[in-house]
Structure 1
């Protein structure tokens, strides 16, 4: 039987589709609860739950003794501007301490987790996975306690190779390395193609743990602008590879964390071609690719790779279970080096969870799960953006991602993301300050908020509190003029090496 959360979401999506197609116009009366329940074969309480959610999003309004009516759509928040950076890294920003605090908050249940890029556990098939894990432990006995092969269990690698066909990737099981989540895949990939002191090009903004990983590996950074609605432009990357000695490039083309930017498929093909000319490896993080909100999955850069230079990294942490820690790396021509490094980093990935995930995929459950998960995540994203529109002050800007679980918010006036985080923590809410997502401390007036949190009164109250904090931090009427987005040179750490140096 379909879970209640999915049934009400089906009803909600049906009403939204009628509105978007013009079947229901502003001022029209929505179908009655009883009529819609009969038509969609659901309970009255399910329809009432869907209508209540649409009302909280500002899509419908309830009129006493008359029913529900379609409201006029409010003007959407404008997209954030792409910000230039200060000349020096702000001394007040202690990156390691703030990142440590954010990671510590991941496991806290007393906070509303808006600072964590996550998928609400209620939407994940944890009960099914756990049953398969229990069955695996019974059936396989002692074998579950043995070391597995360094590249991972063949049964899982076969399923991963099959799963990636949807992203346009053709790679046999022998080209797959199972890892402990996507972060180990990134770690192995970077060590396979770089040495300490090398320069790496990376999108800006980018996931703060990537920046921390690059720092720990002794790598220099050049930041390439990620623009709302289009991601990294091939021309920007070409400029950097012409001017700098770039050892590798790290990108998240599908729904970049934190801005949710999606690089168009033709641009991905062009990026792969540009890097192939100089033999520059591209490390592609695709952890959000399966979580698209549209009818078709976007392709990956790996699908355009003809030279084996794209090292594709992903995991099931956002779509199945973060606690199972099952990810993978397709290292292309760097397979032998990747296996050597994997063996010295963790020897092998845990055998029981590999077995359980392999069985889940083998039974075809992943496809059915994603078919339900994607519209639910779209609903949650729409809900979060609607709450921000209603509760944050004028001048607020936000991205509107077509996939993933995070949105990127620019605070108005003099709002500071780090102070925003501290005040939010005092109110029992986590949030990620924008300055963490740049090696140079850019994006001080930005915050990343998770849209993968269960909808309901607790979430609305939390966003209302964050809106109040944004009001307190803003300097009403004193908006700082913004320079043209990325009008000058790419952002580079001072020690990045030019080609003629």
Structure 2
């Protein structure tokens, strides 16, 4: 009993320091506590909050790690955080860049080429650094999954995928409001294959598909490669999709499907509210339009709970949710899935024609990783790391970039959307930065007609270090001198 009581006390103290740090952090971000302001001493905080000195110290260390405060020798703790300028209202670029000398395809190809170059600081890659991924534990799950398999994972999986993996995906769905059975799921080779299957299931060449603007270039490239036409729906960096614009577009043209990223959209990083997600589902259901929901970033939330999905509001089976572990756990494993609702038969038929089945070893390994509880532990650590990195990158942008620069405030995901002076050409900035071994994503590549010429996307997937700090400082100088 004494041991149990001791453990509970330790747990309570851990919980307390996180609570204290969260409250102070909120006050700093809301500028109740302002940059340069001195904080109470550790002893004073301890007495004020009725907590131990150790708990007070750990709360300050947590805030220091996140870059919100700094310790000054023989002086105490001070607020370090300088709020970057955020978007005050939607920024909707309506005119294409008429003077572009390089085609959109060439721009995208140039950015892609640098994704695998080791000598370049990749602020352009919206994925986790390998150091944030549990490589050793994944290896153990792979070995165990093969050992436990009756055929060492060398035979074909069923067309819908590994049963153990589907079972745990269904359990994970509970966190986003889903009531999903394993048989509702079809596994795929990554999220992009899931998106392709869903598009092909509900459209034919020549049909119109609605997507966000701006959006990840892989999405509109995929839609266009299937011979489909695109209508772009403007988005707000805070609130997400303009539902009124979407409703108007639906009334004016025959939209056959919508493909949106409602949770931590790339590149804006917004998360639509539950109310807007529900309204979106109801609007599309009323018009019998399928929604392909790309939820690949849904698990990377910075708040206390996982955001709900559009799929959780789906009553007619019209929402087709797609996701994978590529952004959370193992990009190279290519393990994805879709929950296609009423279109399951079409998806299964497409998978049979396209790939027959998914890779057995990687699916079994991810299923085992879920089963052991390693995934939940890993995600708790990854979310903390990403939240800290988001704050540190934002702080550096506030310090190093010109005062007129504005930056998004994503509540999750991997990316910051940065608005520069209108005179700056983001692609020219990209080329200049590349001469300093720094890769960014120019805004032009996030629209079908090279809009967003004075925007850039910066990923905070790499842990903040001296190299990142120097790179952001260099980028700030380039922007200032442009």
User: Does residue 213 of structure 1 match 2:222?
Assistant: yes
User: Does residue 123 of structure 1 match 2:129?
Assistant: no
User: Does residue 78 of structure 1 match 2:78?
Assistant: no
Instruction: Report what 1:281 is aligned to.
Output: 290
User: Does residue 169 of structure 1 match 2:178?
Assistant: yes
CA distance in 2, matches of 1:51, 1:253: 30
User: Does residue 20 of structure 1 match 2:46?
Assistant: no
2:481 is paired with a residue of what secondary structure?
Answer: helix
Shift of 1:324: 1.2
- 1:85–1:440: 8 Å Cα contact kept in structure 2? no
In structure 1, stretches of 5+ residues that fail to align are: 1-7, 474-501
From the superposition, tell whether residues 339 and 87 of structure 1 become closer, same or farther in structure 2 (CA, over 3 Å). Answer: same
Shift of 1:120: 2.2
2:116 is paired with a residue of what secondary structure?
Answer: coil
- 2:104–2:449: 8 Å Cα contact kept in structure 1? no
1:106 is paired with a residue of what secondary structure?
Answer: helix
Instruction: Report what 2:54 is aligned to.
Output: 39
1:225-274 alpha-carbon deviations (Å, 9 max, x no partner): 11011000322211111111101001000011000011111111111111
- 2:21–2:60: 8 Å Cα contact kept in structure 1? no
- 2:145–2:368: 8 Å Cα contact kept in structure 1? no
- 1:394–1:412: 8 Å Cα contact kept in structure 2? no
From the superposition, tell whether residues 188 and 52 of structure 1 become closer, same or farther in structure 2 (CA, over 3 Å). Answer: same
Shift of 1:169: 1.6
- 1:27–1:72: 8 Å Cα contact kept in structure 2? no
CA distance in 1, matches of 2:325, 2:98: 35
User: Does residue 311 of structure 1 match 2:324?
Assistant: no
User: Does residue 239 of structure 1 match 2:244?
Assistant: no
From the superposition, tell whether residues 89 and 179 of structure 1 become closer, same or farther in structure 2 (CA, over 3 Å). Answer: farther
Instruction: Report what 1:374 is aligned to.
Output: 383
Counterpart of 1:394 (choices 403, 423, 435) is: 403
CA distance in 2, matches of 1:127, 1:210: 32
Shift of 1:440: 1.9
CA distance in 1, matches of 2:98, 2:356: 38
CA distance in 2, matches of 1:233, 1:472: 35
- 1:226–1:261: 8 Å Cα contact kept in structure 2? no
Counterpart of 1:203 (choices 212, 220, 242) is: 212
1:198-235 alpha-carbon deviations (Å, 9 max, x no partner): 11111111000001101111111111011011000322
Shift of 1:365: 2.3
User: Does residue 254 of structure 1 match 2:263?
Assistant: yes
From the superposition, tell whether residues 342 and 467 of structure 1 become closer, same or farther in structure 2 (CA, over 3 Å). Answer: same
User: Does residue 429 of structure 1 match 2:429?
Assistant: no
Q: Which stretch has the larger CA shift, 408-417 or 381-390?
A: 408-417
From the superposition, tell whether residues 469 and 251 of structure 1 become closer, same or farther in structure 2 (CA, over 3 Å). Answer: same
- 1:30–1:67: 8 Å Cα contact kept in structure 2? no
CA distance in 2, matches of 1:186, 1:166: 22
Instruction: Report what 2:202 is aligned to.
Output: 193
Counterpart of 2:412 (choices 384, 388, 403) is: 403
From the superposition, tell whether residues 156 and 89 of structure 1 become closer, same or farther in structure 2 (CA, over 3 Å). Answer: farther
In structure 2, stretches of 5+ residues that fail to align are: 1-13
TM-score, with normalisation over the residues of structure 2? 0.88
Count of aligned residue pairs for this structure pair: 456
From the superposition, tell whether residues 406 and 339 of structure 1 become closer, same or farther in structure 2 (CA, over 3 Å). Answer: same
